[in-house]
Amino acid sequence: MEISALQKARYAYKPKLPADLSRPLDQIALEFGGATGAVADQDDLRALFTHSYGKPVVKFVSGKNDGLRKLLKAGVILSGGQAPGGHNVIAGIYDGLKKGNKDSVLYGFLGGPSGLIENRSVLITDEFIDRYRNTGGFDIIGSGRTKVETPEQFASSLETAKKLGLDAVVIIGGDDSNTNAALLAEYFLNQGSSIQVIGCPKTIDGDLKNEYIETSFGFDTAVKTYSELIGNIERDANSAKKYWHFIKLMGRSASHITLECALQTQPNVCFISEEVAAKKMSLMEVVDIICSSVVKRAGKGLNFGVVLVPEGLIEFIPEMKVLIEELNDILAANAAEFSQVSSFIEQMYWLGFKLTKASNNLFTSLPPEIAKQLLMDRDPHGNVQVSRIETEKLLMGMCEQRLNEFKKQGSYKGKFATQCHFFGYEGRCAFPSNFDADYCYSLGFSAFMLIASGLSGYISNIRNLVAPADQWIAGGVPLTMMMNMEHRHGSKKPVIKKALVELDGNPFKSFSSRRESWAEETKFVFPGAIQYFGPPEVCDQPTLSLKLEHQR
């Protein structure tokens, strides 16, 4: 396989570890905190997780330890969407196992959790892992979105682990995947098995975070990749001076990506879904915010700009959320009848008798292309596939209509030419930044330490991430500590609580205090490409959000 010069150079990069993980293993001790509780629904979760609820937070410190040299066999799973740095998590686990005992073994389950269920794995060796160190992607063993849910799947997972003689399984994934890890850990314990389950926090969306998980891996690289692209577009906009660019960014459930990219690039307009929901903003209010910037800038002869839109914005607009829910219910209950309505005009007429008046008025006001997407792009359950809705084009089209109204009124005389973009897959498999390369390797090594210490039902964590890597604090957090109960598919289920953008947090406050000037002036910032070589203040910096969150 041919490799690029950068990939060859990245192979040689040596990820940095926290000082407490860099010691000889017999000098790393485990420090236990007090008993823990879930973030909500404690009684329900205590009843569900009778073997694993209430465990203490742990961290690794300097001290005497003679128990980390035992021979271990572990399996690792990549679960869910790709995120830069996943390969380094596996490298950290592998190197930890081999440092503890050269005869220890690591298997990689192929294609995600289904590899565990179906007993499909590959033995990871020195030669094998060395081809993937410090590289992006999940191609080392592949990933998948299968969940271990049914009694048969749980039983098959345990049978696979027993057949391979595993001491532990590590699940690398987001909130849903780590919820699965907690359930699997409880199942193994309930079956009298000593096989441990450890999680690692992955998602570029940034919504798996809390007091102990300061950021999920991949977020740093993804937002720096997107910010480079946004900066390039801003530079182009400022050069051509003739286009408004509407840019949609990943993040259906939370707007962390959009907020960080706004902090890095200072666009003219940026929406944070959580604020839109909190203020109960209508679709037209969202449109008017953009149009206000367009009109003000046009008054200064600036007929160009950049608008950032989070992927999930449409679901956070209350009236749009109601419309989507009504469409889901109506089309599910009348699927056969709707399938007989052929043309879009007829579909609109048919829905006019079934939608509430407010929802029908909103639906008929949408650009036809977007209205069609609401009807056609549906998942196997009949629900709208929100991620496929071209929200950026929806806003662009409605802004165009609104500005034409202003022109007729004589309150706007500018030009409004547009370009649309969606940045998603571009950031999921980039070469990990130095921060993510170091962070992921540390998470993997910490996961090994949790296994070697005999713990189960924990997620590997690294804290103090705004400091240099040698000052990071490694340890583990009970998965049940991060959970609550939510309604899923008609019943209450235990899930790790998603972390939304906090409107009273420092990152949002910093953004909101400056956005008015961005809306009218051209204050673009051009971050440039991720730097892998050079001084730490250029190459090793965490995100602006992380820095702001650590400010007191």
Asked if residue 19 lies in contact with residue 470, where contact means CB atoms within 8 angstroms, the answer is yes
The domain boundary residue, chosen from 496, 515, 537: 496
pLDDT, residue 382, reads 67
Average pLDDT over residues 63-78: 92
Which residue, among 518, 325, 307, 327, has the nearest Cα to 398 in the 3D structure?
307
The answer to whether 456 and 537 have CB atoms below 8 angstroms apart is no
Residues 312 and 210 in one domain: no
Residue 377 has pLDDT above 80, yes or no: no
Specify the pLDDT at position 389: 86
> Both 230 and 202 in a single domain?
no
95: annotated active-site residue:
no
For 329-374, strand residue ranges (E) read none
* 232 lies in the same domain as 346: yes
Say whether pLDDT at 471 is over 80.
yes
What's residue 381's pLDDT? 63
Same domain, 214 and 304: no
Predicted confidence band of residue 401 (pLDDT cuts 50, 70, 90): very high
In a domain, 254, yes or no: yes
Give whole-number Cα distances, 463 to 59, 116, 133, 354, 552, in Å: 10, 30, 23, 52, 16
Q: Which two tokens stand for residue 468?
A: 């240099």
Verify that 457 and 395 share a domain, yes or no.
Answer: no
Segment 29-34 mean pLDDT? 95
**Residue 487 in this model has a pLDDT that exceeds 80:** yes
Query: Domain limits at 509?
Result: 222-428+505-549
pLDDT, tens digit, 9 for 90 and up, residues 239-271: 999 999 999 999 989 999 999 999 999 999 999
Would 1 be classed as within a structural domain? no
Q: Is residue 228 part of a domain?
A: yes
Residue 531 maps to which CATH number? 3.40.50.460
What is the number of structural domains in the chain? 2
Q: For residue 380, name the pLDDT band (cuts at 50, 70, 90).
A: low
Assigned domain for 130 exists: yes
How many CB atoms neighbour CB 182 within 10 A? 30
Instruction: Give, in order, the Cα–Cα distances in Å from 173 to each of 140, 170, 179, 505.
Output: 15, 10, 9, 25
Q: Are 391 and 522 in a shared domain?
A: yes
- Residues 101-150 have pLDDT tens digits of 999 999 999 999 999 999 999 999 999 999 999 999 999 999 999 999 99
Residue 201, pLDDT > 90, answer yes
CB 359 within 8 A of CB 323: yes
Among residues 496, 520, 541, the one where a domain terminates is: 496
Burial of 369 (0-12, 13-18, 19+ CB in 10 A): exposed
DSSP percent split of the chain into helix, strand, coil, nearest 5 = 45, 15, 40
Q: What does the pLDDT look like over 295-351, one tens digit per residue? A: 999 999 999 999 999 999 999 999 999 999 999 999 889 989 998 998 999 999 999
Element (H, E) at 432: none
Q: pLDDT tens-digit profile of 405-434?
A: 999 999 999 999 999 999 999 999 999 999
pLDDT digits (tens, 9 = 90+) for 55-68: 999 999 999 888 78
Would you say residue 192 lies in a domain? yes
Residue 467 lies in a domain: yes
Check whether residue 541 and residue 438 sit in a common domain: no
231 and 366 housed in the same domain: yes
Global pTM reads 0.96
Give percent of the chain with pLDDT exceeding 90: 91
**54 and 181, same domain (yes or no):** yes
**Domain end: 496, 513, 540, which one?**
496
Q: Which of 205, 220, 436, 540 is catalytic?
A: 205
What CATH number is attached to the domain comprising 134? 3.40.50.450
Q: What is the mean pLDDT of the chain?
A: 95
Token pair of 484, please?
């609550």
Q: Are residues 214 and 69 in the same domain?
A: yes
Q: Are 48 and 186 in contact (CB under 8 A)?
A: yes
Does any domain span residue 398?
A: yes
pLDDT band with cut points at 50, 70 and 90 for residue 466 = very high
Co-location of 162 and 245 in the same domain: no
Is residue 94 located within the same domain as residue 181?
yes
Q: How many of the other CB atoms lie within 10 Å of CB of 146?
A: 18
Domain annotation covers residue 5 = no
Q: What is the DSSP string of 149-202?
A: -SHHHHHHHHHHHHHTT-SEEEEEE-HHHHHHHHHHHHHHHHTT---EEEEEEB
